[in-house]
Amino acid sequence: MAEMNMAKAINLALFEAMTRDDKVIVMGEDVGPDEGVFRITEGLFAKFGGDRVIDTPLAESGIIGTAIGMAIFGMRPVCEIQFSGFDYYNYHQLESHAARFRNRTRGRLTVPMVMRAPYGGGIRALEHHSESREAIYAHTPGLKVVIPSGPRNARALLHAAIQDPDPVIYYEPKACYRLFREDVPETMETLPIGKAQIVKQGTDITLISYGASMRATLEAAETLEEDDGVKAEIVDLLSICPLDTETIVNSVRKTGRAVVVHEGPRTCGLAAEVIARINEKVLMFLEAPVVRVTGFDIPIPYFSKEQAYLPDAEKVLKAARETLSF
Amino acid sequence: MAEMNMAKAINLALFEAMTRDDKVIVMGEDVGPDEGVFRITEGLFAKFGGDRVIDTPLAESGIIGTAIGMAIFGMRPVCEIQFSGFDYYNYHQLESHAARFRNRTRGRLTVPMVMRAPYGGGIRALEHHSESREAIYAHTPGLKVVIPSGPRNARALLHAAIQDPDPVIYYEPKACYRLFREDVPETMETLPIGKAQIVKQGTDITLISYGASMRATLEAAETLEEDDGVKAEIVDLLSICPLDTETIVNSVRKTGRAVVVHEGPRTCGLAAEVIARINEKVLMFLEAPVVRVTGFDIPIPYFSKEQAYLPDAEKVLKAARETLSF
Amino acid sequence: MPRKSIELPKIEYLSILNENGELDKELEPKIDPKGLIEMYRYMLLARRTDERMLLMQRQGRCGTFPQSSGHECISMASIFNINKDDWHVPAYRELAGLLWRGWPLESILLYWNGFEEGAAPPEGVNDLPVCVPIASQLLHAAGIGMAINMEKTEKVVMTYFGDGASSEGDCHEALNFASVFKAPVVFMCLNNQYAISVPLSRQMACETIAQRAVAYGMPGIRVDGNDVLAVYQAAKEAVERARRGEGPSLIECLTYRVTPHTTSDDPKRYRSDEETKEWVLKDALPRFAKYLDQKGVLPEAKRLEMEEEIDKTIKAAVQKAEVMFQSDELLNPLHMFDYLFADMSPALQEQRDELAEHFKTKGKDWTNPQKKEKTPASPRA
Amino acid sequence: MPRKSIELPKIEYLSILNENGELDKELEPKIDPKGLIEMYRYMLLARRTDERMLLMQRQGRCGTFPQSSGHECISMASIFNINKDDWHVPAYRELAGLLWRGWPLESILLYWNGFEEGAAPPEGVNDLPVCVPIASQLLHAAGIGMAINMEKTEKVVMTYFGDGASSEGDCHEALNFASVFKAPVVFMCLNNQYAISVPLSRQMACETIAQRAVAYGMPGIRVDGNDVLAVYQAAKEAVERARRGEGPSLIECLTYRVTPHTTSDDPKRYRSDEETKEWVLKDALPRFAKYLDQKGVLPEAKRLEMEEEIDKTIKAAVQKAEVMFQSDELLNPLHMFDYLFADMSPALQEQRDELAEHFKTKGKDWTNPQKKEKTPASPRA
Ligand SMILES: Cc1ncc(C[n+]2csc(CCOP(=O)(O)OP(=O)(O)O)c2C)c(N)n1
Ligand SMILES: Cc1ncc(C[n+]2csc(CCOP(=O)(O)OP(=O)(O)O)c2C)c(N)n1
Ligand SMILES: [Mg+2]
Ligand SMILES: [Mg+2]
C-alpha cells in the first residue's frame, strides 16, 4: 500500500500499463519532456522514450484521428487532450469513427483506445478550461465514459479503460488531482466498466454523483448524518456510460428519495438520464421528486464566479433537505 | 393561403427573409447554382446572386467559423450544413464561440446566426446521413434549438430563428421535406422560440414529440382514439431549447400519463430531460412511469435496418397502452 | 539582410501516355505484361460494376451511390504498387482498388444497398472500408503510418481523397502529422475538379493541389489522372520513398468527374455538357487499352474475352448478393445491437429485448425492407 | 509533356533593422516621428504591464496568464497600419495592439483576473477579445473579411496566431476561405518557436510557415519578428494589398518566446537557458529604442520620461482595477445568468432564482472570491 493523490495514481496506471503491454502508447500535446501541463505523464518520456510517449502537433482532431488509425493497426493509444474544453475539436473523429468502426464492420475492425482529458472547474483556470460535458459522450453510442473520484478508483478505472477492447473516454476531475491522498494497493487492480459503487450505505435518501462532485456529496452526507440524523446512501457512478441502472434503482427502491449531483449543465445532463431511469424502474417507490444539483444552463463562468456555479456541499444539503421534507 | 410541402416552406422563408433584410445571407456547400442537395435554396442564387448565396469550400468549421465573424460584423448568416451528421466538424465553433460571445463580452458582441441542417433517418441515405443529435445542442448553453414538424411551422420557426438576436440551430426533419403539404398563409408569420404547441387536446395521456416523430405520434393518437377510445393530448415541442416546461407539465398534470417520442439515442436524449422536468414539477400527478419511445443507444443502422430503429406509430401505440394500463 | 527569396521545394508535373495515346518512351515505366493486364482487368471490372450498379439503382435494386467511373486509373495504377500487408485507406471512388485488394463484389453490392456487412473488410485484407465523412480517413491513414514506424517494418499506406476534401481541416492535420512523424503514407488526391457542384476555382485559390506539399516539406507532384503510366510511376516513387523511411508524399491526379456526383445528382444544374464531353475523350480505359494493344500485351480479341468474363463475374455476384439481401441473417434488425461493443451492457440488452418484443407483438415482417419505396425526400446529390 | 516543374509563387524573407541594430537604409520605411514614438510607447506600455502582472500573479493578485513580453513588436508594428474602423482579431499575446486599439488597462487586468467584463471590447473598438481555443479566431477574422467584401468598403482585418496554431485544421480552413473569397485579411503568425513545450521541429516538417502561403495562392513572407521596421513594412504592404481588393496575405514573424508559456509554465523542463539567453539579446525594444535615439526621434531623456509616465499610468490602472475586483457589480454571481441570450427563458430564470435563494439561505459572502487560495491542482502551463 502506498498513499498518493489522484495525479500520481493516474500516472502510476499509465506507467504500469506501458510496462506490461508494449502496444500501449501515450500521445498528446506536451506529454513528452514537459510531462503534461498537469504532470500526469511524469517520468514516462524518460522511461519509455519518444516512440511511445509522443508529443504531437497542436491539433486535437489530428491526435484522435491518428490514434484511431493506430488502434485499428493494433496499438493501444492513450491520448491526452489537454483540457476537455478542447475535445470538441475532435468530436467528429470520435462520433463518426472511434464509436462506429466495430459496429459498421460487424466486429472486423476495432478501436481500443482511450481519450483522457482533465474536466471540470474549481481551479481558477482560463476561459474554456473548466468544461464538464461528459453527457455529450454518454449520448454518443459506441463510446464508454468513465470518471474517477479518487486516487484508487482512478488507477483501477484507467487500467480497465486501457484494457477495454473498445474506445473509452476517461475524464479526470482536475480539481481532485492533488486535493487528497488515498491508499493505493501495491498490486495492479481494475474496476469493471459499467458498475457504480455504493460508497456509503444508508436508508433515508440516495445521493448520486461522480467525479469532482463526489466531494461535495460526501461532505453533505456527513452534515446530514451529524445535524439531521439522516442516513444517506451514496452512489458513486464511476461509469457514466454504460450507466449502472441496477445499483441506482436498487438504492432508490430502498430510500424512496434521491438527489443527483454533477457539474455539467442541467438540460440533457447525466442527472436527467438518472431520473429517467428511476422513473422507468422505480417510479412508484419515489416519495419525492428527485432533485438535480448541477451546473446551470450557462457556460461555466470565468473564475471570479465559478464557485457559485459549481455544486457544493451546501447546495447538496439544501436539496437533500428539500427532498426529505417534501 | 397556398398549399406547399416543408421543403418549399423553408425555401419560402429563406426567400422572404432575404427579401426583407439584406443582411441575411445564405452559405454552405452546394447552396448556390445547385440549390442545395435537397433543393432547399431553390431560386435563391438566381434571385440574390453569389454575394448573398455563397457556395463555400468543403469545410464545416470554416462555414460556421466565418459565419460567426460575419454575424459579429453585422450580417445575419444562415448556414446550411449538408447533413447533421457532419455538423460535429463545426461543433467547437458553436460551443466555444457562437454560444458564448454575448455572454463573455457582457452583451457587447453578439452572434445572430442560424445553422440549418437536415437531420434524422427514414430516407434510405448513406452512412452518416441520418443522425439525430439535437440533444447535444440542447446541452450546449447559449444555443437555441428549434425543430419544425410541418410546412407551416417550418416557415414560421425559420423566420423566428433568423430574426433572433442569438444563434439558433434549426434542424430540418428531412423525412418530412416532401412527405405532405399544408396550407401556409400569404403573410409572413413567426412562432415564438421556446413555446410548444398543443396540436390535439386530450385528457387521458400526453404524447410529447417533435420533428419527424410527430407523424408517428399523430398516427398513434388516431388509433388510440378509434380503437381504444383514449383521448391523447399531443404536444409538439417545436423548441428543443429553451424547452417549454409549462406546456409539458400543465398537460401531464391533467392527464397523469406521458410518452415522449424522438429519433435520437435514448441516453441523455431529449426525453430524459422532459422526464426530469415532469419529475420536478408534477411527479405526484403521475399515474404511471413516463415511457420513452426513442432511437436506441446505437448509431442509427445503415438503411436496410433503419426503419426498425426509428420510432413508428406501433411503438408509440404500444408505449401508450402500456402507460394507460400501468 | 535585405529582401530575399526563400528556396522552395520543386513541385512537378508528370504525363507519360497522353490523351492522344502518345507515349513518352523515356519515361515509360517497366511493368511486366501480367501486371499490365491485371491493372486493366480491375479497371474494367470496376467500370462494368459501376455501370451495372447504376442500372440496378435506376431499377430500385441498389441505393444511392457515388459513381467511380472515370476514377479507376487513379485507384488501380497507384494501389498496384503495394503489397498485401501494406494498407489501403480509401475514400469512396476507389472501387477498382477495393476489388483488386480482395473485396468480393458482393460486399460492394451489400454496402451500397444499406448493409453494414458490406463494410467489413475480408479476413486478411488490410483495408479500411469506404469513408463518408470527408477527409476524416486521412488521419486514420496517417495514424496507421505512425504505427508502422513504431513497429519498425517497411509497410506503407495508400490513401485517397478528393479535391473538395482538401479544404477540410482534417486534410491539413493529416498531411502535417504524416510529415512531422515521417509516416510512410502516400496521399493520393483525386482531383476531379468538382465537389458535388462546387468547381475547383471556388474550392481553392491556388493553381494546384500538388503545391500544398510545400506546406509540409514533402514531395508534391501533379499527374495526368487518366494516364495509367504516370499515376503508376508517381505512386511507385512515393511508395519506394515511404519504404525507405523518408516519409509521406502528395500526388495530385488531375481528372474530371464525367459522371454525376452520385446517382441522385444532376450535373446539368451547374456545368455544361460540353465541358463534360471534352473530358470523356480523355478516358483512361480506351487510352490504356490502345497502349496494351499496340504493345501486343492485350490484343483486342483477348480484351473482348475479358469483357465477357467480367460480365459473367458480375452477373454471378449480383445473383449471389440479391439472395443475401433477402436472407434472414442479414435482415434481422436485432443484429443492429450486436456489434456496438465487444460486450453488451444490460441497458442495451433491454433495448434489444424491447425491439424483439415489438416485432413479436406487432408481427412485423421485416424480411424485406428493401421493397419500401424511396421517399420523395431523398437528396439530389 | 515530360516531367516538368510547376512554377510557384515567390516567398520572401525581410529584415531591415537587424539584431545588431544595423539598418538597411534602402528598405527603411518612412514613418513620421509621431508614429514612431507612438509605436514605441505602446510596446513599452505592454512590456511594463506584462511585468507588473507577473508580479501581481506571484502575489496572488492576478490569475494565470500568457506573458506577452517579447511579442510587442509583432503586435504593434503590424496593427499600426490599420484604422479605427478596421478590425483586430487577436489571439492572446497581442497586449500592445489591444492597448493601442483603445482597450483600457483595467479591462486587461479584469480579464486575467477571471472577469468576463474584461473581454468586452470598449464601445467603438472593432476588436474581438482574447481567444483561447487555438486557431479558432482565424475563421472569425476570415468571416469579418468576407462581410467587409459584401459591404463593399475598404476595411481590413488584422489577425494573429502562433506557430502551434498553424497545425490546427481551423488555421487551414481560415487561410483557404480567405483566399477563395479574397477577404481583406492579414494573417500574422507569431512564430515564437514553441507551443508550450513543443518546438517548431515537432510542429511541422517545413522550413517556414511563410511558405504555407503557396498552398493558398497568397503572398507569404517571413520577417524578423523583433524588427519593428520589417514587421511594419510587411504588414503595410499586406494591408494595402487587402484594401486594393487583392485578398489576404500571410506574414510569419520569427521570434522566440523568451518568457515561460504562461505564469505557470516551467520552460527548464524542455529547453536550455542558453537558447533563451541568445534570443533575449535580440529583443525588439532596446533595438528600436537605439534606432529612435540615433534618429533623434526619441532621445534617452525623453525615453526615461516615457518610462515614468507609463509607470504612473499602470499604477493608476491597477488601483482602479483592484477596486473593481471588489465591487458588488462585478462580483455578484447572479450576473452569470444575465448575458446568455438577449432574453431569459423561464427555465433559466428559475435557475437564477435557485442560486439567489441559495445565497439567501446560506448567507454566503461572495463579495471576495479572489481571496480563495490557489488549489494545488492548477496546471503548469
Ligand atoms: C464532412 C462532410 N461534409 C460534407 C459531406 C457531403 N459530401 C459528400 S461528397 C461531397 C463532395 C466531395 O468532393 P471531393 O472531395 O472533391 O470528392 P469527389 O466526390 O469529387 O470525388 C460532399 C460535400 C460529407 N460526406 N462529409
Ligand atoms: C484548441 C486548443 N488546444 C490546446 C490549447 C492549450 N494551449 C494553449 S496555448 C498552447 C500552445 C500554443 O502555441 P502557439 O500557437 O505557438 O502560441 P504561443 O503560445 O507560442 O504564442 C496550447 C497547446 C488551447 N488553448 N486550445
Ligand atoms: Mg472532387
Ligand atoms: Mg508559439
Interior angle at CA A236, CA A235 and CA A241, nearest 5: 110
Residue B60's nearest CA partner among B24, B30, B22 is: B30
State the pLDDT at residue D6.
Answer: 93
State the pLDDT at residue C373.
Answer: 45
Judged by CB atoms within 8 Å, which residues 180-219 of B form the interface with C?
none
Would you place residue C2 in the very low, low, confident or very high pLDDT band (cuts 50, 70, 90)?
low
Range of lowest pLDDT (A51-65, C205-219, C348-362)? C348-362
Q: List, in sequence order, the alpha helices (H) in chain D.
A: 33-58, 72-79, 95-101, 105-112, 136-151, 169-180, 200-203, 228-243, 273-280, 284-294, 300-325, 328-331, 346-362
pLDDT at D100 over 90: yes
pLDDT at C114 over 60: yes
Q: Are residues A10 and A132 in the same domain?
A: yes
Protein residue with least CA distance to atom 19, ligand 2: D195
Q: Which of B38, B44, B56, B126 to mutate to test the interface with C (most CBs of C within 10 A)?
A: B126
State the pLDDT at residue D308.
Answer: 98
Is A314 in Cβ contact with D167 (below 8 Å)? no
Angular region, B228: left φ>0, alpha ψ -120 to 50, beta rest? alpha
What's the CA gap between C188 and C160, in Å, rounded? 5
Q: Are residues B128 and B263 in the same domain?
A: no
Distance C379 CA to ligand 1 centre (A): 14
The arrangement of strands across the sheet holding A258-265 comes to A197-200, A232-236, A205-209, A258-265, A291-295
CATH of residue B233: 3.40.50.920
What's the CA gap between A155 and A8, in Å, rounded? 9
Question: Which tens digits make up the pLDDT trace of D301-317?
Answer: 999 999 999 999 999 99
Would you place residue C376 in the very low, low, confident or very high pLDDT band (cuts 50, 70, 90)?
very low
pLDDT at C182 over 50: yes
Q: List, in sequence order, the alpha helices (H) in C125-192.
A: 136-151, 169-180
Contact, B6 vs B179, CB < 8 A?
yes
State the pLDDT at residue D374.
Answer: 44
Distance A129 CA to ligand 2 centre (A): 12
Q: Complex ipTM above 0.90?
A: yes
State the pLDDT at residue C370.
Answer: 44
Contact, C50 vs C312, CB < 8 A?
no
**CA of D70, closest CA in chain A: separation in Å?**
22
Q: Are residues B235 and B156 in the same domain?
A: no
Q: Are residues B45 and B170 in the same domain?
A: yes
State the pLDDT at residue C374.
Answer: 44
Question: Which tens digits make up the pLDDT trace of C20-60?
Answer: 999 999 999 999 999 999 999 999 999 999 999 999 999 99
**Total H helices, total E strands in chain C:** 13, 9
Q: Are residues A146 and A99 in the same domain?
A: yes
The arrangement of strands across the sheet holding A53-55 comes to A53-55, A24-28, A76-80, A114-119, A168-173, A144-146, A239-241
> Cα–Cα distances in Å, from A227 out to A220, D167, D262?
10, 56, 45
Instruction: Sort out which chain A residues have CB atoms less than 8 A from D134's CB and list them.
Output: 58, 86
What's the CA gap between C101 and C87, in Å, rounded? 10
Q: Which helix (H) or strand (E) holds A216?
A: helix A213-228
Would you place residue D378 in the very low, low, confident or very high pLDDT band (cuts 50, 70, 90)?
low
Catalytic status, residue C257: yes
Segment C253-276 mean pLDDT: 96
The arrangement of strands across the sheet holding B197-200 comes to B197-200, B232-236, B205-209, B258-265, B291-295
Q: Are residues B95 and B244 in the same domain?
A: no
| B190 occurs within a structural domain | no
B245: domain range? 197-324
Averaged pLDDT, groups of 10, chain A, 326 residues long: 95 98 98 98 98 98 98 98 98 98 98 98 97 98 98 98 98 98 97 98 98 98 98 98 98 98 98 98 98 98 96 97 97
Contact, C173 vs A61, CB < 8 A?
yes
Size of interface A-C (CB pairs under 8 A): 129
| B165 occurs within a structural domain | yes
State the pLDDT at residue C361.
Answer: 75
Catalytic status, residue C261: yes
pLDDT at D177 over 80: yes
Which residue has cell 452546394? B30
pLDDT at C371 over 80: no
**Cβ count within 10 A of residue A197:** 17
User: Where do the structural domains in chain D lie, given as residue ranges?
Assistant: 12-324, 333-371
Which residue has cell 519532456? A33
Q: Are residues B132 and B274 in the same domain?
A: no
Q: Which of C358, C361, C364, C365 to mutate to test the interface with B (most CBs of B within 10 A)?
A: C358
Q: Over chain D, what is the mean pLDDT?
A: 94
Segment D357-367 mean pLDDT: 72
Distance C216 CA to ligand 2 centre (A): 20
What percent of chain B is helix, strand and coil (3-state, nearest 5)?
40, 20, 40
Rounded to an integer, what is the distance from CA D350 to the centroid of its chain? Answer: 39
Give the DSSP per-residue string, A313-324: HHHHHHHHHHHH
What's the CA gap between D182 and D156, in Å, rounded? 11
| B98 occurs within a structural domain | yes
Tell me whether A125 touches chain D (CB under 8 Å): yes
State the pLDDT at residue D381.
Answer: 53
The residue type found at C361 is: T
Q: Are residues A114 and A220 in the same domain?
A: no
CATH of residue B121: 3.40.50.970
| B189 occurs within a structural domain | no
Contact, C143 vs C174, CB < 8 A?
no
State the pLDDT at residue C22.
Answer: 95
Q: Are residues A201 and A109 in the same domain?
A: no
Catalytic status, residue B92: no
pLDDT at C313 over 60: yes
- Enumerate residues 6+ apart whose C-beta is below 8 A from B245: B277, B281, D346, D347
Please, which residues bridge with residue C4 across strands? D13
Helix (H, G, I), strand (E, B) or coil at A183: strand
| B192 occurs within a structural domain | no
Total tally of structural domains belonging to chain B: 2
Question: Which tens digits make up the pLDDT trace of B173-223?
Answer: 999 999 999 999 999 999 999 999 999 999 999 999 999 999 999 999 999
Q: Which ligand is nearest to the CA of C66?
A: 1
Instruction: Sort out which chain B residues have CB atoms less than 8 A from C380's CB and list them.
Output: 37-39
Q: How is residue D257 written as a grid cell? A: 518566446
Segment D318-338 mean pLDDT: 95
Interior angle at CA C108, CA C56 and CA C232, nearest 5: 115
Residue B154's nearest CA partner among B176, B187, B132 is: B176
Among chain C residues, the shortest Cα distance to A98 is held by C140
What's the CA gap between A55 and A82, in Å, rounded? 12
Q: Are residues A115 and A173 in the same domain?
A: yes
Among chain D residues, the shortest Cα distance to C182 is held by D205
Q: Which helix (H) or strand (E) holds B265?
A: strand B258-265
The residue type found at D244 is: R
Look up the CATH number of domain C12-324: 3.40.50.970
Answer yes or no: is the C-beta of C155 below 6 A from any ligand 1 atom: no
Range of lowest pLDDT (A14-18, C4-8, D157-161)? C4-8
> Cα–Cα distances in Å, from A81 out to A43, D152, D273?
18, 42, 28
**CA of C365, closest CA in chain D: separation in Å?**
44
State the pLDDT at residue B62.
Answer: 98
Q: Which of B134, B155, B184 is a domain's end point?
A: B184
Share of chain D above pLDDT 70, in %: 94
Q: Over chain C, what is the mean pLDDT?
A: 94
**Cβ count within 10 A of residue D59:** 8
Q: Are residues B113 and B211 in the same domain?
A: no
Question: Which tens digits make up the pLDDT trace of B147-168?
Answer: 999 999 999 999 999 999 999 9
Answer yes or no: is the C-beta of A82 below 6 A from any ligand 2 atom: yes
Q: Which of B130, B149, B184 is a domain's end point?
A: B184
Segment D321-349 mean pLDDT: 95
| DSSP at B22 | T
Tell me whether C125 touches chain B (CB under 8 Å): no
Q: Which of A184, A215, A236 is a domain's end point?
A: A184
State the pLDDT at residue C360.
Answer: 85
Which residues of chain B are modeled with pLDDT < 70? none
Q: Are residues B221 and B154 in the same domain?
A: no
Size of interface C-D (CB pairs under 8 A): 135
Question: φ and ψ at C210, to 5 degrees?
Answer: -55, -40
Question: Which tens digits make up the pLDDT trace of D198-257?
Answer: 999 999 999 999 999 999 999 999 999 999 999 999 999 999 999 999 999 999 999 999
- pTM beyond 0.95: the answer is yes
Contact, B191 vs B156, CB < 8 A?
yes
What's the CA gap between B287 and B95, in Å, rounded? 39
Q: Which ligand is nearest to the CA of C196?
A: 1
Answer yes or no: is the C-beta of D196 below 6 A from any ligand 2 atom: yes
Is A307 in Cβ contact with D197 (below 8 Å)? no
| A216 occurs within a structural domain | yes
Question: Which tens digits make up the pLDDT trace of D341-361?
Answer: 999 999 999 999 999 998 887
Ligand 1 mutation target, pool C137, C196, C257, most atoms within 8 A of CB: C196
> Cα–Cα distances in Å, from B314 out to B18, B271, C361?
42, 18, 10
